[in-house]
Chain A
Amino acid sequence: QKEVEQNSGPLSVPEGAIASLNCTYSDRVSQSFFWYRQYSGKSPELIMSIYSNGDKEDGRFTAQLNKASQYVSLLIRDSQPSDSATYLCAVTVLNRDDKIIFGKGTRLHILP
């Protein structure tokens, strides 16, 4: 089983709607969870980090973590065309020397 799994997409969402991006991970001792945004030809940019079960909100972004289900998601409210990018889910694991394991990413396309 892959360590971090994401639907590759593309996920198409109308402008102004909520975009929901999902990620599952295989290692139960995972401790830290991150969402990065990567525009085409650019490097990944950290959007959110989450460490505890529940929701964490930052502006239009909400990260949701459910460790029992090994599931982390990112919601983008009031989606804008500028949100069109690839979103990478990343997980660190205890005793892995701070290494981050990345998913393959979900391509999000916001339809004007």
Chain B
Amino acid sequence: SAVISQKPSRDICQRGTSLTIQCQVDSQVTMMFWYRQQPGQSLTLIATANQGSEATYESGFVIDKFPISRPNLTFSTLTVSNMSPEDSSIYLCSVEQGVSTDTQYFGPGTRLTVL
């Protein structure tokens, strides 16, 4: 499976600021996904990021709050804008890869704490 890295691995941020999370894959992938996992909860899909097109956001998530870039087939960023303590969460990117193209593999995650 692909090797996926995320930066930063963790951060503590002040209310009202923004944080950009990077996701890098060691091979070209078509589909990349961004998830949020709040404490004690399961994964919630934020958006799907395909190279060369606008990200597709899930219900409850908007581009102004979570702008996403996908400049090439190995890289994507997610920005968490105008943060509040409710944004404290783990943010995960994932990619589809493998013989069955709907199999997703996850990066190590970014643990965000907003004060």
Listed in ascending order, the chain A residues whose CB lies under 8 Å from chain B are 31-32, 34, 36, 42-46, 49, 51, 88, 92, 97-100, 102-105
Contacts and interface: CB of A to CB of B under 8 A. Distances in A.
A44 B100 contact: no
B11 to A, nearest CB: 15
Contact of B102 (A32, A42, A45): A32
Interface in B19-49: 31, 33, 41-43, 45, 48
A92 B103 CA distance: 9
B42 A92 contact: no
B96 A43 contact: no
B106 A44 contact: yes
Contacts, number: 48
Contact of A98 (B42, B96, B105, B106): B96
A42 B90 CA distance: 10
Given A97-B56, A98-B96, A103 B102 contact: no
13 contacts: A32-B103, A34-B103, A43-B107, A44-B92, A46-B1, A46-B103, A46-B104, A46-B105, A49-B100, A51-B100, A88-B42, A98-B96, A100-B104
Contacts of A46: 1, 103-105
Interface in B74-115: 90, 92, 96, 100-109
Given A98-B96, A100-B102, A43 B41 contact: no
B48 A43 contact: no
Contacts of A44: 43, 92, 106
A36 B43 CA distance: 11
A31 B56 CA distance: 22
B102 A104 contact: no
Contacts of B92: 43-44
